[in-house]
Amino acid sequence: MIDFDIARAWHKIFALHIEFVIDGIEKTNLNPQLVCDDMVCHLGRWIFGPGERYAHRAEYADLLEAHIRFHYAASAVLEARQAGITESQLDSFRAASDAVLATIDALASTAGARPPSARRETAARKQKRDHKPSRQESMQIGIKLIDEQHSELLKWIEKLNGQPTAEITSKSVADSISAVQRLETLHFETEEIFMQRIGLPPEQMAEHVAAHGRLLDQLAQVELDARNGICNTAAEAHRAIKDQVLCHIVQYDVPLSRHIADPQ
């Protein structure tokens, strides 16, 4: 379910934000008292907003508790950083973050969505022997969250290829395109935050952000072509969207990897 994919991504973005501050990559001073509020992030607002439809499930209560504990841990680790952070405090923060992801997966599972951890385990068994890097792996930049978002985005694009003859105006195709649009927007937000925090040169940053805008415009054009009868099937939409996204990753995202080892 796309709701849970977005919820996971929101949490990972916020946790990465804290890690960047702790590591000194981001120079922003976060107020530990504000971070302690579990409604300060997108996931908290989702839990008490759209996510409330799962409130009758025990896993929802587990997520609520884990998320509160995570914000306390985030606040504590920021306070500790000011006095010289210890490894145990950082470990506690990361464990609290992992617990949030685990409870999201548990809630997703009871709601009928297969958690990504299960998908990864299945893939690992298939690739246990004689592993050869896939095309997707060769496009990884080395930032876990961004690489995961690329993977998730391409997965949803491939859903269009799973129903090639379906009319583009059908609900299943429209839902897949809508999911791609939401994931693209979220991914671009993550990437632009990352580029700011590594101190990417302004000209390069502006060019990359402009490319994000073009991708969103191209996706909107696919939807417009569908309404005008220019693009009729899911297979046509799949080709148009996938080619654009892959070209963007290769041209703009993969080169970011050279900035990771030596952030400015």
- Domains of the chain (ranges; CATH) run 2-126 (1.20.120.30), 135-259 (1.20.120.50)
**What does the pLDDT read at residue 205?**
92
> How far is it, in rounded angstroms, from Cα 77 to Cα 73?
6
pLDDT for residue 73: 92
Question: Tens digit of pLDDT per residue, the chain (264 long)?
Answer: 557 877 887 888 788 778 877 776 566 677 888 899 999 888 999 999 888 999 999 999 999 999 999 999 999 998 888 777 666 778 899 999 999 999 999 999 988 755 554 444 444 444 444 444 454 555 688 777 788 888 878 888 887 777 667 777 777 777 778 778 878 887 888 888 888 878 888 999 999 999 999 999 988 888 788 777 777 777 888 888 888 888 888 888 888 887 764 433
